[in-house]
Amino acid sequence: MNPVDLSLYLVTDNSDDVEKFLNTIEEAIKGGTTVVQIREKTAETLDFYNLALKVKEITTKYNVPLIINDRVDVALAIDADGVHVGQSDMPCDITRKLIGEDKILGVSAATVEEAKKAQKDGADYIGTGAVFPTQTKSDAPSLTIEELKEVVESIDIPVVAIGGITLENACELKDTGISGLSVVSAIMSSENPKKSSQELLKIFNSY
């Protein structure tokens, strides 16, 4: 698998207004978002599949990798670029067998142990958080900046930080060694997703 630019990793939220949802993603990519992950925790399979196809049209147009959260079946059905799984989803090593070696595989890990296991089991990158309090995932374990550094230093694959990252606090993650910022609300709830993406990327590139 070729290295992926994880600098600004957008995770989507509620897609009730599909037109607005798709427009937000496209504007975010125009602003510099480097990866898009669709997260649809409650969607029916067919709805998720149809939505993912629409998003893929956009990501393909701009040559940005599309990652599907949790749903290996949806990822394979639309030939997405990869899958992201959590600790309570399909095990990493099994996911790797299902998607093959050429797809991107990300794993959520909140501890050094989880991160090391994910690397051993075939993950290409780790998502670690929540680094700040977050409303979008109430069950997300929280970790300190020091703990984030420990995860980064314990493995050889890239780590993206996630959880409550905003334009106001993103600078606090400087010197942690992360390979990217993963955001939800900072872009999805923004009045100007393109500008928010540009500003977040500028902060990350200043590290």
Q: Which positions are catalytic?
A: 39, 108, 137
CB 58 within 8 A of CB 29: yes
CB 52 within 8 A of CB 63: no
CB 10 within 8 A of CB 185: no
Torsional class of 88: left (φ above 0), alpha (ψ -120 to 50), beta (otherwise): alpha
The CA-to-CA distance between both ends of the chain, in Å, stands at 26
- CA dist., res. 168 & res. 177, Å (int): 19
CB 85 within 8 A of CB 118: no
Angstrom CA distances, 77 to 44, 52, 88, 91, stand at 14, 10, 22, 19
- CA dist., res. 149 & res. 24, Å (int): 31
